[in-house]
Amino acid sequence: MEQQLRFYKGLAKQYPTIASAATEIINLQAILNLPKGTEHFITDVHGEYLQFRHILRNASGAIRRKIDDVFGPTLRTEEKKELAALIYYPQEKLEQIITREKDIEEWYQITIHRLIRLARSAASKYTRSKVRKAIDPDFAYVIEELMTGRPDEADQEAYYNEIIHSVITTDRAKEMIVACADLIRRMVVDHLHVVGDIYDRGPSPHLIMDALMKHHSVDIQWGNHDVLWMGAAAGSRPCICNVIRIAARYGNLSTLEEGYGINLLPLAKLAIEYYGDDPCTCFREHSAYKHMEKDQHLTLDTSLEEKMHKAITIIQFKIEGQMILAHPEFEMQDRLLLDKIDLKKGTVRIDGVDYPMKDCLFPTLDTAHPYQLTVQEQEVIDQIQQSFVHCEKLQQHIRFLYSHGSLYKVYNGNLLYHGCIPLTKDGEFLQVKLFGKKYAGRALYDVLDSYARKGYYASDTREKQRGQEILWYLWENPNSPVFGKEKMATFERYFLEEPSLHVEPKNPYYHMLNDEKMADAVLKEFGLSGADAHIVNGHIPVEAKAGESPVKCNGKLLIIDGGLSKAYQPKTGIAGYTLIYNSYGLVLAAHEPFTSVAKAVEQGSDIHSDRILVQQVTKRKRVADTDTGKELAETVADLEGLLDAYRTGLIQEGRN
């Protein structure tokens, strides 16, 4: 009782009277009965900024559906397409329209009316306070007046129309249209989930991170490529090597140099010194952009890139070898291959078999000490490590990944993660040993998440080192939930022709994606059950062109990676899946490849191509049905207790 009294006295400081407490109860109860906000799920963005931006702007078709709901048959299809394009790209679309419209003032009048109707509909599930905060301050009064006005009533019609007329005559129509479009996009989606892999393969992950940092409400579930960059920013040398190697492999060294200002000149000098006459044929670029003009995305000569690619790859194998030798408990001894090379024969021995190598030019390899860096290699990695650790823009982005991210998230009855839950062949949660203790299922995720944070933030040197080792472990260990394969066959893919050696066998989880019992067990492990519980999974490209469905386990498991990255599109046949979860249910959207902003503006073309209804609720979900609603309901209960304390005289008004 004494503890409860102290709690109410603390609460009374915020609500010092019966009136203030009662008013807040009324406000919260009203919010609980509003429809739940729309959640937008996207995954495996892989640096594809333009397509990512377009998906955010069209809300995976939610804006077009809102236009259909509001205007129905009263607008032609072409008018709806043009209105949608205006909302996606208001400034670009306005430039096009102004040059073609003969009576631009009439167009402004009609368009502002339409945008206000859309904004009113999109904002109907939110409080006026929340909507007001989302409006451009320059137009807050005007837009709010128009949204709450009734132009269909004679008393207000003239007032309503005069507001719009004044906006036009003061030459502020363009700015107001942009403000309305921004408000509609903001209101259509309340919260964004990014289910991993923002980085690598595509050219502009830094621009995606800039956009996410400006987003009004977002969470991130780290993918294997994200933890790799997190490790690199923390100073992990094997992570740094992998980041540079992948950038070189996909023709994106400019992302490091221009996007983040990482100094790669030391690596270039080493590459010229040791590999100047080496054709480096095994290190050709694999970029989906290789047919673009060079000056659009590359700043280095291609042949130099290939030499840098080889130089950092050899450094990576050496540094990773040191890590594996230092940590036998990681059970990655099969990745120690530099000491299995026979330079005279031109072969490497794997599992007792000698395989011919496509490249045997290793001028920095000491066969007596294969995992030892040369003096020059050591100097290069020292310098590059400092460049990563002291890059302010990279550090800002990685801190945002940490503050808004985690390895998994349970949110409104859904479980979100990027890779897999490590399982045995029998479908049991795999017991994984880390630093002398065993973990499985949710406990494994939790301990790995904790160590990933220590690798960046810990003040204790030993714990920080362990954390950085785990960040690399997460990248490529067979027991890592965000990797989940028996090996990462990097060496084999570069140097060996034998296709069977390129195969990376997957954790049993990936062979049980249609096993409903497995999905139920995973959901239960994370505290979820029932028809409304789902797993939202990234990391696994869905081969739509082969007829594969992203909906697994009778709708309980949703895989939303379908090839947003251009590198995957030849395999998947589409440009990715995204998921919308609104008050009526869940809808998967399949996307066609994005061509350009210009085409979207000029032709009204859209990347949204198909919708799959995953689940439609029988009763519309409200805020009370969400995690936020549960928190608000607890606050209401606390306030009701405070009211009772006031009315029984346990606490006096205004004296606490």
Task: Quick: pLDDT tens for 542-578.
Answer: 766 567 788 899 999 999 875 576 666 666 666 678 8
As a whole number, mean pLDDT of residues 451-464 equals 97
The predicted structure's pLDDT at residue 295: 42
Give the DSSP H/E element, type plus range, for residue 558: strand 557-559
Q: Where are the alpha helices (DSSP H) in 553-626?
A: 569-572, 597-603
Q: C-alpha dihedral over 152, 157, 159, 165, to 10 degrees?
A: 100
Distances in Å between the Cα of 522 and the Cα atoms of 157, 363, 508, 614 are: 57, 49, 14, 19
Average pLDDT of the residues in 205-229: 97
Instruction: Give tens-digit pLDDT for 55-101.
Output: 899 888 889 889 999 999 999 999 999 999 999 999 999 999 999 98
Per-residue pLDDT tens digits for 349-358 = 999 999 999 9
Percent of the chain past pLDDT 90, that is, above it, reads 77
pLDDT at 288: 56
340 with 349: CB under 8 angstroms? yes
Q: What is the DSSP letter of 535?
A: E
What pLDDT score was predicted for residue 544?
63
Comparing C-alpha atoms, which of 241, 245, 311, 315 is closest to residue 278?
311
pLDDT in tens, 109-128: 999 999 999 999 999 989 98
pLDDT digits (tens, 9 = 90+) for 329-344: 999 999 999 999 999 9
Work out the widest C-alpha separation in the chain, in whole angstroms.
94
Report residue 599's pLDDT band, with 50, 70 and 90 as the boundaries: confident
Which contiguous run of DSSP H or E holds residue 434?
Answer: strand 432-434
Give the mean model confidence (pLDDT) for residues 225-233: 98
Q: Which amino acid is at 188?
A: V
Confidence of residue 294 (pLDDT cuts 50, 70, 90): very low
Confidence at residue 97, expressed as pLDDT on a 0 to 100 scale: 93
Tokens of 156: 């207000």
How much is the average pLDDT of 518-526? Answer: 97
Distance CA(132)–CA(652), nearest Å, equals: 35
Instruction: Say what the pTM is.
Output: 0.92
For 137, residues 6+ apart whose C-beta sits below 8 A from its C-beta are none
Nearby residues of 113 by Cβ (< 8 Å), 6 or more positions away: 151, 164
H-type alpha helices, 34-153: 49-58, 62-71, 77-88, 90-100, 104-122, 128-134, 140-148
The pLDDT of residue 619: 83
Cα(144)–Cα(131) distance, rounded to whole angstroms? 9
According to the model, what pLDDT value does residue 518 have? 96
For strands 557-559 and 534-537, give the pairing: parallel
Please give the Cα distance from 93 to 95 (Å, whole number).
Answer: 5
Q: Would you call 295 exposed, middle or buried from its count of C-beta atoms within 10 A (0-12, 13-18, 19+)?
A: exposed
**Strands of 251-306, DSSP E:** none
Contact 105, 97 (CB under 8 A): no
Helix (H) or strand (E) holding 636: helix 627-647
Segment 617-644, tens digit of pLDDT: 668 899 999 999 999 999 999 999 999 9
With H, G, I as helix, E, B as strand and everything else as coil, classify residue 240: helix
Residue of 127, 202, 102, 113 lying closest to 164 (CA atoms):
113
Angle at 577 between CA 574 and CA 580, to 5 degrees: 150
Among residues 255, 531, 563, 226, which one has the least CA distance to residue 400?
A: 226
Q: What is the bridge-based pairing of β-strands 585-591 and 577-582?
A: antiparallel
CA distance 504 to 480: 14
Question: How confident is residue 587, by pLDDT bands cut at 50, 70 and 90?
Answer: confident
pLDDT in tens, 14-68: 999 999 999 999 999 999 999 999 999 999 999 999 989 988 998 888 898 899 9
Q: What pLDDT score does 293 carry?
A: 42
Answer for the pair 491, 313: CB distance below 8 angstroms, yes or no. Answer: no
The dihedrals phi and psi of 41, each to the nearest 5 degrees, come to: -110, 130
- Average pLDDT on 276-285 reads 93
Residue 656 has pLDDT above 70, yes or no: no
Between these two residues, 299 and 589, which has the higher pLDDT value?
Answer: 589
What average pLDDT does range 212-237 have in this prediction? 97
pLDDT at 375 over 70: yes
pLDDT, residue 11, reads: 93
pLDDT digits (tens, 9 = 90+) for 310-326: 999 999 999 999 999 99
Among 480, 411, 477, 409, smallest CA distance to 444 is for 480
What is the reported pLDDT for 299?
43
User: Predicted confidence band at 611 (pLDDT cuts at 50, 70, 90)?
Assistant: low
Residue 292 in this model has a pLDDT that exceeds 50: no
The pLDDT score that the predictor gives to residue 298 is 41
Assign 432 to helix, strand or coil.
strand
**Local confidence band at 297 (pLDDT 50, 70, 90 cut-offs):** very low
Whether the per-residue pLDDT at 296 is higher than 80: the answer is no
Given a cut of 70, whether residue 289 has pLDDT beyond it is no
What is the distance between the alpha carbons of residues 444 and 368, in angstroms, rounded to a whole number?
Answer: 38
Q: What is the mean pLDDT of the chain?
A: 91
Which pLDDT does position 647 carry in this prediction? 94
End-to-end CA distance of the chain: 17
Mean pLDDT of 428-453: 97
Comparing 371 with 615, the larger pLDDT belongs to 371
Q: What share of the chain is helix, strand, coil (3-state, %, to 5)?
A: 55, 10, 35
Q: At 463, is the pLDDT very low, low, confident or very high (cuts 50, 70, 90)? A: very high
- For the cut 60, the answer to whether the pLDDT of residue 607 exceeds it is no
What does the pLDDT read at residue 291?
43
Q: What integer pLDDT is reported at residue 529 of this predicted model? A: 93
Name residue 230's amino acid. M
Which tens digit of pLDDT belongs to each residue from 481-515?
A: 999 999 999 999 999 999 999 999 999 999 999 99
